[in-house]
Amino acid sequence: MENYSLNEEELQLAEMVREFADEVVAPISYEADRTHTLPLDIVAQMGDMGLFGLPFPEEVGGQGGDYFALCLAIEAIARVDQSIAITLEAGVSLGAMPIFRFGTDAQKAELLPDLLAGRALAGFGLTEPEAGSDAGATRTTARLENGEWVINGSKQFITNSGTDITKFVTVTAVTGENNGRKELSTIIVPSGTPGFTVEPAYDKVGWNASDTHALTFNDVRVPEANLLGERGRGFANFLHTLDEGRIAVAALATGAAEGCLEQAIDYAGKRHVFGEPLKTRQHIQFMIARMQLRVHNAKLSWHHAARLCAEGKPFKTEAAIAKLTASDAAMDNARDATQIFGGNGFMNEFPVARHYRDSKILEIGEGTNEVQLLVIARSLGLA
């Protein structure tokens, strides 16, 4: 593994998680994908390793690391299984981080210990049929009535929302109007609350072992104290969460691109065509060289954004650049690796086939690549 200016502690973390990915995650990846099953024993092991607590301070049960450390772990796992990597990413970025950043002391004390130990997962209910990147189009509502929030509406594509260890979902909802504009707030809804329905799991193209559901809220009542952060700050809090999430997804996409590269190099050395290894063909050499180029650029891109984030510096544009660069790299490398594998690349038991299916969502989730271009254009004063 190349250094990429990692310090000794970061190198050790990356090596530890790579070993875990290769020896524990990879052997079960095909079966988990085939059966559309999130292996909770793997989640528990990641919790025991401290991965869910990486970017949190020790006083709340974390490992005392930063967002860069989390992204290193996500990248290492994504090389062999994107479903497990996104489970970790969403569990931290969308589950625990909003509680840590915006929660009250009581909310943190109640919810963070299990989340940071991997004993529980949580979802972030933002996306709706008419509201994705345009969160202002949110239709889910929450009104105060006798000291309770009464929530009505629906969400879709919510990760980690229906597992056996899902503890709650955080829901964005319209809680009023402010100067003629929707007032968006975020509210914690525990699993099992009457009126809160987790709909059947989606039949997805990829990320089959990742838990993803639509959610329905029918007069769901939760205490007024379940408001997360300030009333009316739900959209602003979401934007901060999304910017960090884009770095993590960029790291995941880089891992996917790297996994395809590793698989292509290995296969090109073993596969013989007309009596010679496939790797002796110059066009194969050039394809793999371009794959390495994409991995290198993607890695440098998310590293830069994550360093800025960890240092408390502005990183919005850099996060968009990283997400765009890395998701393109994942898709392009998956396509080229599949081509190198030939017919085997079309068989799901081969990792490159799963990467080919999995990687498309990387150009859509956490803001489409078109949204990333818009963010970059705005930073240049063009939009």
Q: What distance in Å separates the CA atoms of residue 256 and residue 363, rounded to the nearest whole number?
A: 13
| Residue 309 CB burial class (10 angstroms; 0-12, 13-18, ≥19) | buried
Which of 125, 149, 122 has its CA nearest to residue 135? Answer: 125
Cα angle 23-20-49, degrees, rounded to a multiple of 5: 145
**Helical axes 40-48 vs 82-90, angle rounded to 10°:** 60
Which residue has tokens 């990879």?
A: 26
Determine the 3-state secondary structure of 229 from DSSP.
coil
Determine the 3-state secondary structure of 276 from DSSP.
strand
Q: What distance in Å separates the CA atoms of residue 150 and residue 145, rounded to the nearest whole number?
A: 7
Which of 299, 156, 267 has its CA nearest to residue 215? Answer: 156
366 in catalytic set: yes
Question: With contact defined as beta carbons under 8 Å apart, do 315 and 19 qualify?
Answer: no
- Catalytic residue from among 75, 244, 258, 366: 366
Instruction: Give the 3-state secondary structure percentages of the chain, helix then strand then coil, rounded to 5.
Output: 55, 20, 25
Question: With contact defined as beta carbons under 8 Å apart, do 342 and 281 qualify?
Answer: no
Question: With contact defined as beta carbons under 8 Å apart, do 245 and 366 qualify?
Answer: yes
Beta carbons within 10 angstroms of residue 145's beta carbon: 11
* Catalytic sites, residue numbers: 366
